[in-house]
Amino acid sequence: MSGKYLDIFLREAEEHLTSLQQGVLRLEKEPDNKVLIHELLRNAHTLKGSARMLGFEGVSNVAHRLEDLLKEMEEGVREVDESATDVLLRGSDAISRLVGAMAKGEPPPFLVDEFLAALDRGEVAGMDVTASPGTEEEGLGDTVRARVRTLDSMVNLLGELIINKKRLENRVNDLKSLVRSTGGSPSFRELGQFHRDLEEDVLYLDYIIQELHGEAMALRMLPLRTITDGFQRLVRDLSRAQGKEVELVIDGEGIELDRVLLESLKPMFLHMLTNAVDHGIEPPDVRKMHGKKGKAAITISARHEGDSVQIVVRDDGRGMDPDRIKQAALRRGVIDKEEAELLRDDEVIYLTLRPGFSTSETVTDVSGRGVGLDVVQKNLERVKGTLSIRSAVGAGTEITLKLPMSLSVVEALLVGCSGESYAIPVSYVLETIKVRSEDIVTVGGKEVVSLRGVTVPLVSLAVLFGLPEQKTLLETGKVTAVVLRLREQLLACTVDRHLGSGEIVVKQLGSQMKKVTFIFGATILGDGNPALILNVPDLFAHAEGTTTTGFRQAFAEQEATRVRGRLLVVDDSITTRTMERSILVSHGYQVEVAISGEDALEKVAGFQFDLVVSDVEMPGINGFELARRLRGMENYRDVPIIIVSSLSRDEHKRQALDAGAQAYIVKGSFDQGTLLDTVESLIG
């Protein structure tokens, strides 16, 4: 059979199935609604007919059975009760699965005859024909349905563009003849007229482009309804399975969002809803005991808020208990004791967003699959949305998602860094500040600045990206930093300068660059060159890993008028190397690094260092051997050597001293004080 007909059938079947499912759920609430029953009858009938036309016997047979049942209901022969609606739902599920298999070109996933037989016997509950919720990964497809009117309007605007182009061509000719007729020196009046004409054309061009852009963007938008349609059913089935009573109210289903956004929203909603039913909502008797209505309520409400859409998912369940969350987080090693003590209650709630966290004590069939809100969080970051949680113990939980309306155009701050321009979505930007060298403080080896009393970690975008450091900034003694906000966290990121903000068109990097750390996409600047759009959550994630921003160090380097000594740091680990180097440099020492013993030997041959700091375990020559060889060299017989190692046994220390080292520092107890003190005591 031709694929074209199958496509049409699949789309039609999907529509009828959706209205069947929706209708049956409504029927449960309005059992006497004869109009509704008739509508459902029509759905089943059409499905049956179309399926039969294409020879899909299974679908046709199940639809036929539903049709019979609905007819009995319409005639009043059969009561509209729970068991009847269950049969209808099971039936439409079965069709849905048959159609789904068809779409993928797979054989029917179950035996239709057996299913119908079971349906006749009334054994509907035991039949597992539904795919488990959340596992179906259906996209919104890569086709767009557009109103003919919209297309006409776009074609019309394109026509206007062509006319406008002709007008601009005319202007070029005008200018040419103006120059020719006036012998190269047109009068002010003539030039003024030309200027006005040209300006008018450009203004009109701008108008057409805006209109066209708007129309094209609107084609990407779909109502929230597109994804919430199945939610009633999901909540109904879930709560029933757990003996809970839940009513789902969806508000603002008509609000339109970019289709790509909607696609990524669906799994998030599924997750939040299952979470709410599973963990949030109490069984009816417990609720009544607490003076609540036995039937719980979950609401999803969406509304516009400025340029973004805000969606709130609220339940009136038991709420999140900060103490329990803290305990669970500690137990699972998500946080340590120190961190636990520092966290405020409203911060504790956000621990549920961390990977590896799941509060459900027992793993249930429904949501406790070891994935938690962190999945929601991750998906949200991908679409540049934010998530906030409010919860009161005993009263319920409220999760607020804030989403951009469209992914295609965002408001962004442009910054310059090491010769490149980067765009940062303003939704993440708190402010830009000037940081003076004296504002930078080192806390625990990391650099921070104080912003109105709040300590904010400072990182250099250039260092983070491995780009050459901005030396020019140091001359003024000030650096520009963009303060970024991600949920409750702040991060100050130094850049060369900020270049203003504006709307940018977001472009993907294409499938050669599927996922690039730090980069969300790119935009095209006025000069025609691309600028990368930064992925702010990545900046936060990697800022924690960097040992130093290099600024305080650079400032210090600059300030140190005299070099206290020339040191060679030998370590095969880049982290250790960089850390040691930055500590020493910031205290006025000139530091060279070597990545191995061999490298060190090469470097000492060409330069006289005042002190050598070396690791022990390295590929090739180890630290002990290096010390021994240095001792054998005439220039290095008396140069102090410090061994820094993770080997902590006395035997190793003795070995180091035997090899000729002056001092031995164990990495475990390694902090900048020890190293500095040791260096200072050896060479001052």
Partner 1 sequence: MGEENRAGYNIDGILREMRDEYWQGLDAVEEEAEEQLECITFSLGGETYAFETIYAAEVLRIPRLVKIPKVQELIVGVFNLRGEIVAAMDIRPLLGLPQSTFGPAGRIIVVKGEKFNTGILVESVKGVTALPLDSFEVAVKSLSDAQRDYLRGQLQLPDGLVILLDIKRLLGAPEIVVNHG
Give the residues lining the site for partner 1 (CB under 8 A): 420, 464-467, 507-519, 521-522, 524, 528-532
Check if the beta carbon of residue 37 is closer than 8 Å to that of residue 70. Answer: yes
In sequence order, which residues have a C-beta less than 8 Å from that of residue 340 and are 6 or more positions away?
Answer: 326, 329, 330
In our burial notation (b when 16+ CB lie closer than 10 A, e otherwise), range 621-635 reads bbbbbbbbbbeeeee
CA–CA dist 306, 146 (Å, integer): 26
Of 204 and 518, which CB lies nearer to partner 1 in the complex structure? 518
Find the shortest distance in angstroms from Cβ 156 to partner 1.
23
Of 505 and 633, which CB lies nearer to partner 1 in the complex structure? 505
Amino acid identity for residue 473 in this structure: L
Find the shortest distance in angstroms from Cβ 510 to partner 1.
5
Of 203 and 516, which CB lies nearer to partner 1 in the complex structure? 516
CA neighbor of 328 nearest in space, from 353, 357, 355, 302: 357
Find the shortest distance in angstroms from Cβ 529 to partner 1.
5
CA–CA dist 637, 601 (Å, integer): 14
CA-angle at 495, arms to 490 and 498, nearest 5°: 95
Strand positions, DSSP E, 219-262: 221-223, 246-251, 256-258
Find the shortest distance in angstroms from Cβ 465 to partner 1.
4
What are the φ/ψ torsions at residue 157 (nearest 5 degrees)?
Answer: -65, -35
Of 173 and 512, which CB lies nearer to partner 1 in the complex structure? 512
Displacement of CA 447 from its chain's centroid (Å) = 26
Of 453 and 510, which CB lies nearer to partner 1 in the complex structure? 510
Of 532 and 593, which CB lies nearer to partner 1 in the complex structure? 532
Of 25 and 541, which CB lies nearer to partner 1 in the complex structure? 541
Find the shortest distance in angstroms from Cβ 462 to partner 1.
9
Amino acid identity for residue 259 in this structure: R
CA–CA dist 117, 356 (Å, integer): 45
Find the shortest distance in angstroms from Cβ 95 to partner 1.
36
Of 395 and 525, which CB lies nearer to partner 1 in the complex structure? 525
CA–CA dist 610, 608 (Å, integer): 7
CA–CA dist 413, 430 (Å, integer): 11
Find the shortest distance in angstroms from Cβ 461 to partner 1.
9
Pairing of β 566-570 and β 611-614:
parallel
Find the shortest distance in angstroms from Cβ 219 to partner 1.
18
Maximum CA extent, the chain: 109
Check if the beta carbon of residue 593 is closer than 8 Å to that of residue 622. Answer: no
Find the shortest distance in angstroms from Cβ 251 to partner 1.
37
- Tokens 């009544």 belong to 288
Of 107 and 510, which CB lies nearer to partner 1 in the complex structure? 510
